[in-house]
Amino acid sequence: MIRINESFQKLQNSYLFAEISQRIQAFQQQNPTQELIRLGIGDVTQPLPSVCVQAMHQAIDELTSSKTFRGYGPEQGYDFLREAIAEHDFQARGANIAADEVFVSDGAKCDVGNFQELFAQDIRLAIPDPVYPVYLDTNVMAGRTGVVYLECRADNNYLPDLPKEPVDLIYLCFPNNPTGASITREQLTLWVNYALENKALILFDAAYEAFIQDEDLPHSIYEIEGADKVAVEFRSYSKTAGFTGVRCAYAVVPKACTAYTAAGDAVSVRDLWMRRQTTKFNGVSYPVQRAAEATYSPEGKAQVKALIQYYLNNAAHIRAALQRMGFSCVGGDNSPYIWVQVEQDAWGFFDFLLNEAGIVCTPGVGFGPCGENHVRISAFNRFDKVQEAMLRIEAALKNSPL
C-alpha cells in the first residue's frame, strides 16, 4: 500500500487566495460592470527591462548555432552571473562574498522552501508572525512542529524581538512581506549576535532588497560582522527586475557558515547545499541567466532603478492617501507593501474595500494570527489605477463610514 507523508495533512488549508477569488467572483457576478482594481497579490505589472530582453534574445541566438550552443550548465549557475552578483550585490557594499558562495536558482520560493532539508527533524524554529507562509508550511511538510512565533505588532514596530527560549533556525525577511517593515543595522546585529552565541542559523530572505531607499539600512545581512558564519541570504530578480514569470534568484551560502552534527562537529552548510543542489537541481536556463546578468550593466542598473522607483512612487501615493484618511500604516517607503491597521477584522475590511470601492487587498490574517486587524496593500499596479483606487476608497469612506 502506498502511504502518504501525513505531515501534509497537518498543513492549514491555504484558503487565503482561494477565498479571495471566491469573494471577488461573487462580487463580479453581482456587479458585472464595476471594474476592480487589484492591489492584493504581490505580482509585478510592468514589462521587463529592455536590457534583459536584449540579453535573452542574444542568448537564444547563441543557442541556435552549433558553435555557441550550450546544454546543461553548472547547477550552481554560470560564473558570469555568480561573479556579477558577488561584485555588485555584495562586494560593492563592503560584504565579503565570493562568486563560489553564490547559488543561482529559479526562485527564492524554492530556495527558502528547500533549505530546511539540510537540518535535523527536531530543531527548534523561529518564524515571524505575520510572514510569507512558505517558511512555516515547508517545515510542517517536513514533519517539524517545534515553532517559536516571533510576533510582529504595532507595539514593537512590526520588528520581532529576540526569542526568549533557545531556537536553532531563524527565518527573517526584510524588507518584510507582508508588513513592509525594514530592519536597521543595530537590530540586525542583535540577531547575528544571538545566532553566534547560540550556534543558530539565520535564513535571511531579502527578496525585496531592491526597494531599500534609506541609506542607513543594511541591504545584506553580510554587512553585519560575523554574519557569514551564521546566515544564509536569499535574493530574487522577481520584484527587482520583473522576473516573476522569467524565474531567477539566488542563495548565498558563505564558506564560513556551519551547522553541527549531534556529536557537535561543525559541518559546512555550503557543502551540504552544494550536494543537495547538484543532486536535485539542474540549473537555470542560459538565456535567463544572461538576462539576470544584464541587470548589472550601467544601463541595466538604471532600468532596474526606474522600475523600482515606479512601484515606490505608487507605494508613497498609497501610504500618504491612507494616512490622510486617518489610517495608521507602515511600509511603502523601502518596500512595495503597505501594512494598514484597521479597526475591524481583516476580512471585514477586505469586504468593505471590495464591496464599497471595488478594490482588492489582502487580509493580513492570511499571513498569521498577528495579521488580524490589518490588510496588505500592494503597490504593484499602474499609477493611474493606484490613484483611482485611493479616490474610490476615500469616496467609500465618506458614503458609508466604517
- What's the min distance (Å) between Cβ of 42 and ligand PLP? 5
If the CB atoms of residues 193 and 244 are measured against ligand PLP, the closer one turns out to be: 244
Interface with ligand PLP includes 336 (CB under 6 A)?
no
Interface characters, 145-184, with ligand PLP (x: CB under 6 A): ----------------------------x---x-------
Candidates 101, 129, 205, 209; binder of ligand PLP (CB under 6 A) is 205
Residues in Cβ contact with 384 at an 8 Å cutoff, skipping those fewer than 6 apart: none
Q: Is 244 in the site for ligand PLP (CB under 6 A)?
A: yes
**Residues in Cβ contact with 122 at an 8 Å cutoff, skipping those fewer than 6 apart:** 144, 146
Stretch that binds ligand PLP, among 23-31, 103-111, 193-201, 262-270 (CB under 6 A): 103-111
Does 238 contact ligand PLP by CB under 6 A? yes
Q: Which of 3, 266, 282, 11 has its CA nearest to residue 138?
A: 11
Q: In this complex, which beta carbon is closest to ligand PLP, that of residue 224 or of residue 249?
A: 249
283 touches 75 (CB < 8 A): yes
In angstroms, rounded to a whole number, what is the distance separating the alpha carbons of residues 39 and 390?
11
Minimum distance between the CB of residue 112 and ligand PLP, rounded to whole angstroms?
6
Place of cell 558570469: 80
Residue 132 interacts with ligand PLP (CB under 6 A)? yes
Convert residues 270-309 into a mask of x (bound to ligand PLP by CB under 6 A) and - (unbound). Answer: ----------------------------------------
* Amino acid at site 103: F
Helices 298-324 and 50-63: crossing angle, nearest 10°? 140
Kindly state the number of chain residues that form the binding site for ligand PLP, as judged by CB under 6 A.
Answer: 14
CA–CA separation, 254 vs 226, rounded Å? Answer: 11
Of 56-64, 74-82, 107-115, 306-314, the segment contacting ligand PLP by CB under 6 A is 107-115
By CB neighbour count within 10 A (0-12 exposed, 13-18 middle, 19+ buried), where does 352 fall? buried
Q: Name the residue with the smallest CB distance to ligand PLP.
A: 107
Among residues 107, 300, 331, 366, which is the contact residue for ligand PLP, using CB under 6 A?
107
- CA 318, CA 312: separation in Å to the nearest integer? 10
Name which of 175 and 358 has its Cβ closer to ligand PLP: 175
**Binders of ligand PLP in range 42-71 (CB under 6 A):** 42
From the CB of residue 272, how many other CB atoms can be counted at a distance below 10 Å? 17
Q: In the set 38, 82, 109, 376, which binds ligand PLP (CB under 6 A)? A: 109
Pick one of 86, 249, 318, 390: the residue that binds ligand PLP (CB under 6 A).
249
Listed ranges 6-14, 102-110, 218-226, 283-291: which one lies at the site for ligand PLP (CB under 6 A): 102-110
- Residue 236 within binding range of ligand PLP, rule CB under 6 A: yes
Q: Which long-range contacts (CB under 8 A, 24 or more apart) does 139-142 make?
A: 140/7, 140/10, 140/11, 141/5, 141/7, 141/8, 141/11, 142/7, 142/116, 142/117
> According to CB under 6 A, which one of 207, 342, 353, 365 is a site residue for ligand PLP?
207
Nearer to ligand PLP, 203 or 353 (CB): 203
**Minimum distance, C-beta of residue 108 to ligand PLP, in the bound complex (Å):** 4
The nearest distance, CB 132 to ligand PLP, in angstroms, is 4
Nearer to ligand PLP, 244 or 355 (CB): 244
Is 376 among the residues that bind ligand PLP (CB under 6 A)? Answer: no
Q: Which residues bind ligand PLP (CB under 6 A)?
A: 42, 107-109, 112, 132, 173, 177, 205, 207, 236, 238, 244, 249
